[in-house]
Amino acid sequence: MAEWLTIFASAAAQAASLAARYSVRVAALQQAWRERLRAGSNPRSDAAAWAIIDALPAHPIVTVPVAVAATRRTKPAVTTGVAELERAGVLRRLGDSARNRAWEAEGLLDLIVGLEAGVD
């Protein structure tokens, strides 16, 4: 029993450390995204683009319907926000389809993969 508790405690400590590093790095990435957006279109403070940035860590691949659900904004507002974020280089479109479009949050998947691989 003591050996199992030691293994569990070690795994929990590693997971907590990974989560803390992820949180710090995601916050820095979100700040960089906000700066890109400000430098580009600098939308109003209540614009959907800002809310989308807040939602991206939970949705590194995002679609308009997902962003609507995550931000609780209207589809037109989210569509405008996604376009602003794409122009700012925060979102990168995946594929050329006019239907079922999806975007990747720039740098977020690389951050996740790096942390899982133990890259600091």
Q: 3-48 pLDDT, tens per residue?
A: 888 998 888 988 888 888 889 999 999 999 999 999 988 889 899 9
Residue 39: the pLDDT is: 94
Q: Helix %, strand %, coil % for the chain, to 5? A: 65, 10, 25
Residue 16: the pLDDT is: 87
**In CATH, 2-116 is 2.40.160.10:** no
Query: So where are the chain's domains?
Result: 2-116
Cα(68)–Cα(82) distance, rounded to whole angstroms? 11
pLDDT digits (tens, 9 = 90+) for 40-86: 888 898 999 999 999 999 999 999 999 999 999 999 999 999 999 99
